[in-house]
Amino acid sequence: QVQLQESGPGLVKPSQTLSLTCTVSGASISSGGYYWTWIRQHPGKGLEYIGYIYYSGATFYNPSLKSRVFISVDTSKNQFSLNLSSVTAADTAVYFCARAKDQVFFYFDSWGQGTLVTVSS
């Protein structure tokens, strides 16, 4: 059974870079067939898709965040990471990593528990 776990600082200062890592167990990122994604949820709000990375390194970023987002993968550690630059209070949210089933169906069948990141000085 695949498990995902987010890790990283829970507090980031404005204008700095938010960095999170998702560690995957029970499945190999290198196997292909799945897209490794980041999704966030502002307090009390709905779900916002950030983007994905494939094991090959191919990425897609939501245009709403594209200029500030970078997602990378480390297949040797079975991890993928999110960097979000120039953060403001509006980036305060729970950040989830999730696995998306292939490019055709693209539903999120496994999720991390989520990690709250607060942007504040």
Partner 1 sequence: DIQMTQSPSSLSASVGDRVTITCRASQNIGKYLNWYQQKPGKAPKLLIYTTSSLQSGVPSRFSGGGSGTDFTLTVSTLQPEDFATYYCQQSYSTRPVTFGQGTRLEIE
Contact residue for partner 1 among 49, 55, 70, 75 (CB under 8 A)? 49
Residue 23 has which token pair? 């560690």
Q: 46 with 114: CB under 8 angstroms? A: no
DSSP state, residue 13: -
* Cβ closest to partner 1, residue 67 vs residue 121: 67
Judged by CB under 8 A, the stretch of 19-27, 68-76, 83-91, 109-117 that binds partner 1 is: 109-117
Question: Which one, of 8, 51, 24, lies nearest residue 110 by Cα?
Answer: 24
Q: Which residues bind partner 1 (CB under 8 A)?
A: 46-49, 51, 60, 62-63, 96, 98, 101, 103, 105-109, 111-114
